[in-house]
A and B are shown apart, each in its own frame.
Chain A
Amino acid sequence: MKPALESRSVTKRFGDFTAIDSVSLAFEPGKVHAVVGQNGAGKTTFSRLICGLYEPSAGEILLDGSPLRAGDIRSTREQGVDMVHQNFSLPPSFTVAEALELFDDNSKPLMSRAALERKWNAALDRHGSPINVRKRVRDLSVETRQSLEIIRALEGHPKVLILDEPTAVLAPPEVQSLFERVHRLRDSGLTILIILHKLSEVFAVADTVSVLREGAVTLATTPIRDVTAQEITQHIIGPDTNLPQIATEVRGIAHSHEQPTAPPAKTPVMALSHISAAAGQSDRALDDVSLTIHSGEILGIAGVEGNGQETLLDILSGHQRSESGSMHLLGEDVTKASTLDRRRKGVRFVPSDRNAQGISLTTSLWENISLTDLLIEGTRWFSPRARKAVALEKLGTWKVRYRNPEQLAGELSGGNVQRVILSRELGTGTRLVIAGNPTRGLDLAATAFVRASLSALADDGVAVIVVSADLDEVRDISNRICVLRGGRIVADLPGGASITEIGSAMVGGDNA
């Protein structure tokens, strides 16, 4: 069959760095094509080339056999290729109708609000979506925003739709309904390119799979029934390495840290009692949350996104104050303690939004790493040379791939950024780690690395709280799981709890 979309020896260079190296892939029409690979493998660059955001340095992209005019998303959209980005593109402060109109190429210059809302109400009805056109985009849940982004793209009647890591922001039931939708779209004749991280998802949704490694194709559009998960993994990671090996290596790294002598097992480290707090940014308020975490424990907080997770993280980190209730850290009242006070007492944070909260992308690596230590030590003056040396050592221990410590954090890939954050946070004196979505958007090796690091810390007697929308993650590493729903803890389950047990607590099954 003639491919709907084809890339012929497409190469993309950024300066002297080759992100995509002579990639030739052909995608048949009316199928779901998965593209997988590690962080930095070039998946996102590849999809941006196809959607016209980047122009290839060499090679060409063909749409229905004729060359795609690139360099301008608007014209590629007219030609029939559209993309739903990982970071959503609809302006949060607009209403749904306004946001959709913004992307409509046939938009009239003058239109009454009523007409605008009628127009998009009708459009949403066509897509069977119950979204209220008057709501502001920022007030929608993540799932609804994603659904709106897809509708936005469909309204341009594309022939090829690219979804860039759509599952990274969704809870399991939401992933399920997204995949059902993808299948419906495919059955209506749309060609879909979907960038994914999890192999289970590849098998659940895709018809073919392609693998990129270091910018080159290692597996080209192979029908999904012809490959095994094992084979795909080999293509992703490369011939010389395998996952168990990485995990062992990682355990070595994490253990090589000097840790304080482990406190006696099962001492309570952090105790929240009857904490209530106002809603944080686009999240829910906390309602009478009581929770105790012990040393050596990994407590997973599961829940559908937007049920109070961000507020809980902000309360734990001292970024936000609770309205009532109290918090004790190792027996000491820290209800009103500042973030810095908590850090000084051994609390460390891995924020849930790496790029917005975890690291300053426009600041050098060594400065990003040094600030925490300087603040905790209370040092007023510092020598950049000495601080750079410390940072270099941390970057080395955590095997961050970087060019030099002056490099801006924004130049690193997601997995490496997370390593930088971990290297900064998980130093000596750690008693409690609070991690939000610690492996979101990370590839297999990086995920294994992060999880192994957290387990190793727990083995050393550190208490770890992992707040994650990824149920697999919570189940994989936690030895106790609490479920947050509507700002309350609705279940406190052992680590081995089944997916159905946790899932029903998340969506409010029998114990609602």
Chain B
Amino acid sequence: MLRNNGRLVARSFSMILIAIVLSTVVFQLSGYSAGEAISGFIQGAITGPGALMSTVRWAVPLAVVGVGVVLSFRAGFFNVGAQGQLYVGAIAAAAIGPVVPGPGFVKVAVAMVCAALAGMLWSLIAAWLKTSTGADEVLTTLMLNFIGTLLLQYVTNGPLRDLSGSGQVASAPPLGSEMRITGSSGVSAVNIALVLAVLVGAWLIVNRTTFGLSSTIVGRNAQVATRQGVNSRSVIWVTFGLSGALAGVAGAFEVLGPTGRLIQGFSPDVGFTGILVALVAGLTIAGVAFAALFFGALAAAIQFLPIVTNLPTSALEILQGLVALLITAKLRARWKRRSRPDSPPAREESNAGNDPAVAAPPPVGDGAP
């Protein structure tokens, strides 16, 4: 399994390399200097002043969201609602944390737990709709993102609005320093330790627990799993709950960390980029750590690039888009089949009852090795 995972991650990173090459071609053709873009990227993500810090700062929430996405995608549930769950978690942390009596660490702990619960509840709405009405989770979680975004807009303009603030962007009052887990750099021992704990915990769940194995097999073939005695309904609830809770925690990380207050429309891409992180990671927890760093580097560079070159931020969005495209298209699998007609066609497992692809080779015969 380790070897398989290794191959998956290697494939993802070769896709990233191709995306980088392709996007430099695009830059060059659009009249920008590709060399400048690459050096700008390296400066913004690694070598520039505070660049590495900035990379890690963005990798933190991406890793937490990415782990949640891995858990739900592995079980075959396409929870794409991390952004909404993240906002709801952030709102809970910012609203409840400050009113908790006691020392700072108690406030932080309560805020974290509340953020997790809020994110969990938000995603359980989708789980409930799925188990009770069969509503497709892609649709419901996506819609809940919009509601989450609007809820944040309402809260920052209404109940939690910082009236003393003069900024054009609505926000809640800044949190006291005793409630901050990081400074404005977004990196501290506390949040790094928490991220590592999340990664290790999730790795254990996926690789060492019966629940992890059950949900993986539910994701690959639900019929097989339920016939073994897996309760697929409880797998739905738990995976949705866990992935929502993690997105909520990521929201708390932002509010209690670098942003330091609840701001309307903060970190607008983390929830979606987290899905990319999970996909690039090949839905493995170990892969998430690397993928989060890569996308963290991209996010850091996006902010830095316009300062040193005349490249617009959309340049890096092109790169990010290309990565998404290449990863999801599984281009390499196609190439492999083309160039080596000797390899047997990939067998995709379908849950019984789905239409087999027209004229596709029958999935299993007796001739394959």
Contacts and interface: CB of A to CB of B under 8 A. Distances in A.
Interface of A: 12-15, 17, 19-20, 38-46, 48, 53-55, 57, 71, 73, 85-89, 91-93, 102-103, 164, 281, 317, 319, 338-340, 343, 349, 351, 353, 355-364, 367-368, 370-372, 374-376, 379-384, 406, 410-411, 413-415, 417, 441, 443
Contact of B229 (A12, A73, A376): A376
Interface string B327-369: 0000000000000011110011111110110111111111111
Contacts of A353: 352
Nearest to A424: B228
B229 A340 contact: yes
Interface in B217-239: 217, 220-221, 223-231
B4 interface: yes
B210 A375 contact: yes
19 contacts: A15-B342, A15-B343, A19-B368, A40-B366, A86-B365, A93-B355, A356-B351, A357-B352, A361-B221, A362-B348, A375-B228, A379-B210, A380-B211, A381-B210, A406-B3, A410-B363, A414-B365, A441-B366, A443-B366
Dominant secondary structure at the B interface: loop
B368 A14 contact: yes
Contact of A45 (B210, B364, B365): B365
Nearest to B347: A410
Q: Which 8 A-B pairs have the closest CB atoms?
A: A45-B367, A44-B365, A340-B229, A87-B362, A356-B352, A17-B369, A39-B366, A374-B210
B1 interface: yes
B214 A375 contact: yes
B227 A339 contact: yes
Nearest to B217: A360
B156 interface: no
Interface in B185-232: 207-211, 213-214, 216-217, 220-221, 223-231
A192 B355 CA distance: 28
Interface of B: 1, 3-4, 207-211, 213-214, 216-217, 220-221, 223-231, 341-344, 347-353, 355-356, 358-369
Contacts of B355: 91-93
B95 to A, nearest CB: 35
A89 B359 contact: yes
A14 B344 CA distance: 6
Contacts of B367: 19-20, 40, 42-46, 48
Given A89-B359, A357-B227, A71 B213 contact: no
B229 A375 contact: yes
A436 to B, nearest CB: 11
Contact of A340 (B209, B231, B348, B351): B231
B194 to A, nearest CB: 23
A380 to B, nearest CB: 6
A413 B208 contact: no
Contacts of B358: 89, 91, 102
Contacts of A57: 342
A39 B3 CA distance: 29
B228 A371 contact: yes
Nearest to A387: B213
A368 B213 CA distance: 9
Contacts of B342: 12-15, 57
Contacts of B208: 381-384
Residue of B213, B356, B364 with highest tally of chain A CB at under 10 A: B364
B369 A380 contact: no
Contacts of B210: 371, 374-375, 379-382
Contacts of B369: 14-15, 17, 19, 411
A382 B214 CA distance: 12
A164 B341 CA distance: 22
A219 to B, nearest CB: 18
Given A92-B356, A410-B363, A413-B368, 12 more contacts: A17-B369, A87-B363, A89-B356, A89-B362, A319-B227, A360-B349, A361-B363, A362-B347, A367-B213, A370-B213, A380-B211, A443-B366
A12 B361 CA distance: 16
A354 to B, nearest CB: 8
Nearest to A443: B366
Contact of A361 (B347, B356, B366): B347
Contacts of A20: 367
A19 B7 CA distance: 25
Contacts of A54: 341
B209 A381 contact: yes
Nearest to B224: A360
A15 to B, nearest CB: 7
B1 A406 contact: yes
B74 to A, nearest CB: 12
A355 B220 contact: no
Contacts of B223: 356-357
B362 A363 contact: no
A417 B359 CA distance: 24
B167 to A, nearest CB: 49
A86 B223 CA distance: 21
Given A89-B359, A358-B224, A362-B349, A338 B366 contact: no
A45 B353 CA distance: 26
A233 to B, nearest CB: 18
Contacts of A87: 356, 362-364
A374 B224 contact: no
Contact of A48 (B343, B349, B361): B361
A46 B350 CA distance: 25
Contacts of B349: 355, 360-362, 410
Given A48-B361, A85-B362, A339 B217 contact: no
